[in-house]
Structure 1
Amino acid sequence: MKLHTLFLSTALLSTPAYAADLGVLTSLDICDELGLSGLTLSSDTNCLQVTGSVYYEFYWGDYGDTVDLAGANPLAYSGDFLAIDDNGAGEDWETYVETYLKFVGTAASDFGPAKAVVEIYGYEELGILNEAFDYGGGSVEFDYAYVSVGDTTVVSAGLQDSIANLDDDEAFGWIQSFLSDDVGDGVAFDNAAGGVYDTDDHSIQIVSDLGNGVKVGGALEALNTGADAGSAIGVISYGGETISAHFTAVAGEILDGSLDDFAIHTGVTATFDKFKARAALAANDTGWWNGIISGEAKFDMFALAAAVDANAEREWSAVGSATIDITEEIVLKGAVRYLDSDTAIADDEGLEVRLRAEYKATEALTLAFEGGNIWVGAGAVNGSQSIFDGLVEATWAPGGGFEATSAVAANSLGAYKVSFTASKDFE
């Protein structure tokens, strides 16, 4: 939507003598000159792009206790619905809404596009567990507020995402390993799901595209984190037709000269026709490390994937999955996941088998059925466990960026959970 062009076009079209010149005059629109599209507003020198999203979710059922099958480790999670327990104290429900609104103002400069980026993020939530108030609240804040300038070399400063490249580290396949679930997919700088480095903080950054797929960058980040402020981050990455790779190095607390923290994150992905291979490693100066190796093979009707990962806390896990396209409308998926939560403890391992079927009933409606069982050895914190869970899900996407999902989940512990989500993006 270009209001500048719209108003100009309306005025000119009302005068037949100038109608023939419309194409020439509208070509002067600054958004077109900058190659920007979407929902835009333009002035003589600036193009303003507007994007946003609203997301809502609601849960109801009897699930207020979390099942921790083997102590504080990833076996407490599976598919977002195994980790529910019948607490016997009444129904539970939760409601949550979040939204963001992003504005990007761009103008031409002698050094390349000059931008000002502002993103406003807000949320509101309420949780009633065991039929009693458990949590609630909300806030509206700036998620991003920064300026940048440049084309092949971009300089930026303000509140923005970390420059750290954390790609090329997720397992192939439709389901992640237990360890990846625990750290938020892939590998992590430390056991706090990425530490303080993968955040949006005050920072000064410079990124340069050297050509032939090579990019380098450097930044001074985490400038608003108090006494521990100041992280120097360096990144080099490569993206080609068959290989993508990166190396990220972080030195923390540099402003006081202490250099107390140091961490690296690196990964590489190789693509050969129907096959892909990936390896990644994250580590820091405390001795923590987290690594993964994964592979995938795709054929006409099915795909196979596997991964093995481990970390410095004597945990290791493996996952194997398959996806079969029975028809254009029917897809079957299966997976087996294994976790040894402490190699120094006997019989504390966990094993899970999952099956999922998806049926595209119409262009807009997809139905899914999923079930699984997890077994945990007698050496685990809570002893031997065998829990079955199931899910029925319907996703409706009629177009226009709108999507809604309804689901019912239950397990053999007597817990059940009904969910509804809806979202709409615009740009």
Structure 2
Amino acid sequence: MRLPVLLLATTALAMPAAAADLGVLTTLDVCDSLGLSGLTLSSDSNCLKVSGEVEYAFHWGDYKGALPVLGSAYSGTIDWTDDNGGANDWDSFVDAYLTFVGTAPSDVGPAKATLRIYGYNYQEVDNLVGAPSQDGEVDEAYISIGDQTVLTAGLVADSIFNEDDDKAFGWLASFISDETGGVAFDGGAGTYGTGGHSIQLVSKLGNGVSAGIALEDLDGDGSLVGVVSYAGESLSAHISVLAGDILDGTFDDLAVHSGFTATLDKFKIRGALAANNSGWWNALGSAEATLDMFTLAATIDATSEREVGLVGSGEAKLNESFTVKVAARYLDPDTALANDEGTELRGRVEYAAPETVTLAAEVGHLWTGVAAVSGAQSITDGLLELTWKPGGDFTSTAAIAANTLGAYKLTFEASKSY
């Protein structure tokens, strides 16, 4: 019996040493030393981080189209714009991406190689003809190196052209900012090339100031982009400039985007301006106040197309379960024309049942000076929505919406990220 006892004692003595060795290996793991977490694989010198997301959406109904005077601006939280002319409308959409980032330490900071594969499969009924789908493709493939100063080269999705500090405060955006996503420097023309094949250099200069310069859209006509940004405790601000068509030496497209957000105790103020050399400009001013259980917000924005928009909104968190939201917004799509304005009132009630389920009901009414195709000059719509978040980065939403034009829409959406 002495031999088994000896073996057992030897094993017991060896286990702490093995555990200590494993502990040393763990602390020396390259992912840990680089501060990377999540889904990772490590070798002696590289940490490979994998992330991704899959989204699915299905919509069915009869959308009836939007009011022609406001166009796609009348979407709000219910998008009625994809109408196919009388027959039922439906679409099924799968959106997915998979990203691999390999990182290794270097003398000047992390050295990274990023590969992102993006794909979608979209089928939409339009006059009973299905739209073609898009298979997966390489959306990003670039290398970068540095810590305080980072050099990036390759195929990138994100431009260094900073477009932050331009979103309207409040739960409901103005008609204009809802359409442009803030303030737009291109006026919807889409002729200004950013991102794509790029060489980017961004540096943190200290005290919250950073600056960057880049050659972007090198697989197109080429753009020269510059940006200066500031981020402090109570103020963030930036100015971004772009010169397009640089590869042929014409420099035809010039654009600028600037914005700031100031936080003063319970109040926030935001201003933004975007413009280009065609004469287009888009400006926005927004403010928000948080007072105990209430949050109030107001926004005014305008464009060089003689568009003027206003919105005011309020939220009240009555308790841990109930939140009430109200908003009113106004749009004059052309101040030189009479009786083309639109005004909308909208309200929403949200109830958090258990921690994972939120029920919402929403109703809105729109008046416009120009009649819709049906002859109506006002529309009332309603929405019932259920959102489920059971954890694990999974989210699912089911909703039903209808309006007084006879339109209806059923929606199912689900997504999971990792």
- Out of 171, 193, 197, the residue aligned to residue 174 of structure 1 is 171
Which residue number in structure 2 is paired with residue 309 of structure 1?
301
SS of aligned partner of 2:298: strand
Q: Which runs of 5+ in 2 are unaligned?
A: 1-11
- Cα deviation digits, residues 182-239 of structure 1 (max 9, x gap): 11x2100122176534x541100000001110000000011111xxx11111100000
Which residue number in structure 1 is paired with residue 28 of structure 2?
28
Amino acid at match of 1:48: L
- Cα deviation digits, residues 238-289 of structure 1 (max 9, x gap): 0000110000010111122211111100001100010000000000001100
**Conserved in 1, the CA contact under 8 Å of 2:78 and 2:401?**
no
The alpha-carbon distance between structure 1 residues 384 and 92, as it changes in their structure 2 partners (threshold 3 A), is closer
SS of aligned partner of 2:37: coil
Separation (CA, whole Å) in 2 of partners of 1:47 and 1:14: 30
Matched residues, percent identical?
A: 56
Separation (CA, whole Å) in 2 of partners of 1:113 and 1:253: 33
Which residue number in structure 2 is paired with residue 4 of structure 1?
none
Separation (CA, whole Å) in 1 of partners of 2:394 and 2:131: 29
**Conserved in 1, the CA contact under 8 Å of 2:383 and 2:399?**
yes
**Conserved in 1, the CA contact under 8 Å of 2:314 and 2:327?**
yes
Which residue number in structure 2 is paired with residue 159 of structure 1?
155
- Out of 264, 276, 279, the residue aligned to residue 272 of structure 1 is 264
Separation (CA, whole Å) in 2 of partners of 1:113 and 1:214: 21
Q: Which runs of 5+ in 1 are unaligned?
A: 1-11
- Cα deviation digits, residues 147-166 of structure 1 (max 9, x gap): 00000000000111111000
How far residue 383 of structure 1 moved from its aligned partner, in angstroms, is 7.1
- Cα deviation digits, residues 333-365 of structure 1 (max 9, x gap): 000010000011001000000000000011000
Separation (CA, whole Å) in 1 of partners of 2:58 and 2:178: 22
TM-score (norm 2): 0.93
Which residue number in structure 2 is paired with residue 240 of structure 1?
232
How far residue 85 of structure 1 moved from its aligned partner, in angstroms, is 6.3
How far residue 133 of structure 1 moved from its aligned partner, in angstroms, is 2.4
Structure index of larger Rg: 2
**Conserved in 1, the CA contact under 8 Å of 2:296 and 2:314?**
yes
How far residue 30 of structure 1 moved from its aligned partner, in angstroms, is 0.5
- Out of 202, 207, 221, the residue aligned to residue 212 of structure 1 is 207
Separation (CA, whole Å) in 2 of partners of 1:381 and 1:43: 64
How far residue 28 of structure 1 moved from its aligned partner, in angstroms, is 1.2
Which is worse superposed, 17-26 or 163-172?
17-26
**Conserved in 2, the CA contact under 8 Å of 1:74 and 1:178?**
no
Which residue number in structure 1 is paired with residue 377 of structure 2?
385
Say whether residues 1:78 and 2:76 are aligned partners: yes
**Conserved in 2, the CA contact under 8 Å of 1:47 and 1:105?**
yes
**Conserved in 2, the CA contact under 8 Å of 1:345 and 1:379?**
no
Which residue number in structure 1 is paired with residue 3 of structure 2?
none
Separation (CA, whole Å) in 1 of partners of 2:188 and 2:410: 30
Separation (CA, whole Å) in 2 of partners of 1:315 and 1:290: 9
Separation (CA, whole Å) in 2 of partners of 1:115 and 1:372: 48
Amino acid at match of 1:173: G
Say whether residues 1:320 and 2:320 are aligned partners: no
Which residue number in structure 2 is paired with residue 262 of structure 1?
254
- Cα deviation digits, residues 44-73 of structure 1 (max 9, x gap): 00001110000000011122x4223306x4
Which residue number in structure 2 is paired with residue 69 of structure 1?
68
Which residue number in structure 1 is paired with residue 8 of structure 2?
none
The alpha-carbon distance between structure 1 residues 260 and 361, as it changes in their structure 2 partners (threshold 3 A), is same
Amino acid at match of 2:203: S
- Out of 75, 86, 92, the residue aligned to residue 95 of structure 1 is 92
Which residue number in structure 2 is paired with residue 202 of structure 1?
197
**Conserved in 2, the CA contact under 8 Å of 1:69 and 1:76?**
no
**Conserved in 2, the CA contact under 8 Å of 1:85 and 1:414?**
no
How far residue 138 of structure 1 moved from its aligned partner, in angstroms, is 1.8
- Cα deviation digits, residues 109-162 of structure 1 (max 9, x gap): 1111100011000110112245x2241312211111100000000000011111
Say whether residues 1:405 and 2:400 are aligned partners: no
The alpha-carbon distance between structure 1 residues 420 and 384, as it changes in their structure 2 partners (threshold 3 A), is closer
Which residue number in structure 2 is paired with residue 6 of structure 1?
none
SS of aligned partner of 1:21: helix
The alpha-carbon distance between structure 1 residues 322 and 80, as it changes in their structure 2 partners (threshold 3 A), is same
Which residue number in structure 2 is paired with residue 104 of structure 1?
101
**Conserved in 2, the CA contact under 8 Å of 1:75 and 1:350?**
no
The alpha-carbon distance between structure 1 residues 393 and 21, as it changes in their structure 2 partners (threshold 3 A), is same
SS of aligned partner of 1:203: strand
SS of aligned partner of 2:25: helix
Which residue number in structure 1 is paired with residue 122 of structure 2?
125
Which residue number in structure 1 is paired with residue 60 of structure 2?
60
Which is worse superposed, 263-272 or 134-143?
134-143
SS of aligned partner of 1:79: coil
The size of the alignment, in residue pairs, is 406
Separation (CA, whole Å) in 1 of partners of 2:92 and 2:40: 33
Amino acid at match of 1:422: A
Q: CA RMSD in A?
A: 2.1
TM-score (norm 1): 0.91
Amino acid at match of 1:95: S
Amino acid at match of 1:176: A
**Conserved in 2, the CA contact under 8 Å of 1:70 and 1:382?**
no
- Cα deviation digits, residues 287-339 of structure 1 (max 9, x gap): 10000000000011010000000000010100000000011100000000100
Which residue number in structure 2 is paired with residue 191 of structure 1?
187
Amino acid at match of 1:243: L
